[in-house]
Structure 1
Amino acid sequence: MTANLRPTLRVGFVTGATPDKWARAWRERRRERLELVPVSEDEQVEGVRDGSLDMALVRLPVDTDDLHCIRLYDEVPVVVAGLEHVVGAVDEVTLDDLADEQLVRPHASGWTPTAEQLDWPPMSERDAIETVAAGTGVVVVPMSVARLHQRKDVVSRPVTDLEPTTIALVWLRDRDDDVTQAFVGVVRGRRVTSSR
């Protein structure tokens, strides 16, 4: 039996990113296999730098000194709280509304809560949402993450004065071959017949 010798493009994606439409387009157009690899925010660029991933869909900000970076779309930040929390009584909140809340996990936007607000050990998005579901504190995450970990015992509301987070595609500057550029074309919406 002959082994599958088709080349594989390995693309990491951070929690909440949605690579499915690009994966479908890739599989319709290209003969190279596409392998999607989930990564955490803490490790989102490590695989690209160590060569275990060819590219990654990351949540900015990341250090891009040695990386190409294409911004793809913005994500709305939301606060997630337990079902009985006062957040559930309003349509949206501001950072002032959260000033006295205990935050169980930092948010990627660059907003820095006070030390009193954030006095928790590091935890995943899923663990943070489980913690607030138990009635302890709140967490601010991108809307895509809140939807991914949606539960019946939590509510989420947009934080109107917090900057959105951005999903971007990154790859090493010294990796710019035809396969890489073909995937860039897919995420940028180029047609099969269009050129770079």
Structure 2
Amino acid sequence: MTEMQVTPSFRLAYVPGVTPGKWARVWSERLPDVPLALVAVEAADGEPTLRAGDADAGLVRLPVDRTGLSAIPLYTETTVVVFPKDHWLAAAEEVTVEDLAEDVVFHPLDDTLGWERLPGRPAIERPATTADAIELVAAGVGVLLVPQSLARLHHRRDLTYRTMADTPQSQVALSWLEDRTTDLVEEFIGIVRGRTVNSSRGRGQTAAAAQPSEKQQPGSGKDAGRGAGKGAGKGKAVGGRPAAGRTATGGGRPRGGSGSSSGGSAAARRGRPKRRG
């Protein structure tokens, strides 16, 4: 019986507020034969999902336990305060911690900001989720501080928000298990870092390496011409170095100019392909 070949796929977990759509589009263009499955998880479930092997990589919020996990910080979000549109804070362009001294500030159990000391007055109890806290804000009971992406995610017509100054911020990172750094993981790392297909460390790089560029082929292209045209003196250049005994007269150092050995070395350096990260 012939064994069935399993089509490779890539599972990407992401927490609320993170929008992986732009990277998913690049993936589908670059690897159309590898399906990308987006797995939405709660903020607290990002790291456990990766450790359980339920996703190949994840867009999570820091901090995470780096034991056995790799994490590449991608961006830091602005912190905002969410409140009803008729709240007096609506007149401000930016809100400070002192401005919230008399307001009840909710601290949901799925908070992503990691407060050491929450500003304002504490609520009687902590809401279970950010969504629950938003409902309480809409009821005019208090205000809520969240990353801007979460304020947009839970947008309501009767609520608005303002940027907060001097407050903790949430950082989003790409994370995966260290011992599962596959070619597909490397491919996604390249995508989020903006690498081109040729500079990717995954399958794109493998395909590019199979077809060496003109610079990598000895004796071809402009680099070969540079080596011959800028050789040292009358000697014949071999591998970018002038032939022995022909670089200078009188046993001294060769002088600069088109006939110097430095020209040959520079040509050799220019002809050497750069190592890509």
Q: Same fold (TM over 0.5)?
A: yes
Decide which of 72, 78, 93 is 1:76's aligned counterpart: 78
Q: Which moved more, 1:121-130 or 1:33-42?
A: 121-130
The answer for the alignment partner of 2:215 in structure 1 is none
SS of the equivalent of 2:7 reads coil
The answer for the alignment partner of 1:156 in structure 2 is 161
The answer for the alignment partner of 1:189 in structure 2 is 194
Paired residue type of 1:54: D
Q: How many residue pairs end up in the alignment? A: 194
CA distance in 2 between counterparts of 1:114 and 1:159 reads: 11
The answer for the alignment partner of 1:42 in structure 2 is 44
Paired residue type of 1:6: T
SS of the equivalent of 1:103 reads strand
Decide which of 50, 70, 92 is 1:90's aligned counterpart: 92
1:13 touches 1:19 (CA, 8 Å); kept in 2? Answer: yes
Please tell me the root mean square deviation across aligned C-alpha atoms, in Å. Answer: 2.0
The correspondence of residues 126-165 of structure 1 with structure 2, limited to 5 A, is 126-165=131-170
2:9 touches 2:36 (CA, 8 Å); kept in 1? Answer: yes
Distance change in 2, residues 1:4/1:117 (3 Å)? farther
1:78 touches 1:141 (CA, 8 Å); kept in 2? Answer: yes
1:83 touches 1:133 (CA, 8 Å); kept in 2? Answer: no
What's the CA shift for 1:94?
A: 1.1
1:104 touches 1:119 (CA, 8 Å); kept in 2? Answer: no
1:105 touches 1:139 (CA, 8 Å); kept in 2? Answer: yes
CA distance in 2 between counterparts of 1:96 and 1:41 reads: 28
Gaps of 5+ in 2: 202-277
1:79 touches 1:139 (CA, 8 Å); kept in 2? Answer: yes
Distance change in 2, residues 1:4/1:28 (3 Å)? farther
The answer for the alignment partner of 1:59 in structure 2 is 61
Please state which structure has a larger fraction of its residues in helix. 2
Which structure: larger Rg? 2
The correspondence of residues 175-186 of structure 1 with structure 2, limited to 5 A, is 175-186=180-191
- What per-residue deviation string (whole Å, max 9, x for no partner) do you get for residues 97-147 of structure 1? 123321222542232327951432342222211210111111111111111
SS of the equivalent of 2:186 reads helix
Paired residue type of 1:14: V
What's the CA shift for 1:163?
A: 3.2
What's the CA shift for 1:195?
A: 4.0
Paired residue type of 1:45: E
2:103 touches 2:121 (CA, 8 Å); kept in 1? Answer: no
Q: Return structure 1 stretches of 4+ with deviation > 6 angstroms.
A: none
2:187 touches 2:200 (CA, 8 Å); kept in 1? Answer: no
- What per-residue deviation string (whole Å, max 9, x for no partner) do you get for residues 62-100 of structure 1? 222221000011110000012222221211111121233
CA distance in 1 between counterparts of 2:145 and 2:5 reads: 44
2:83 touches 2:159 (CA, 8 Å); kept in 1? Answer: yes
| TM-score (ref. length: structure 1) | 0.91
CA distance in 2 between counterparts of 1:12 and 1:124 reads: 19
1:100 touches 1:117 (CA, 8 Å); kept in 2? Answer: no
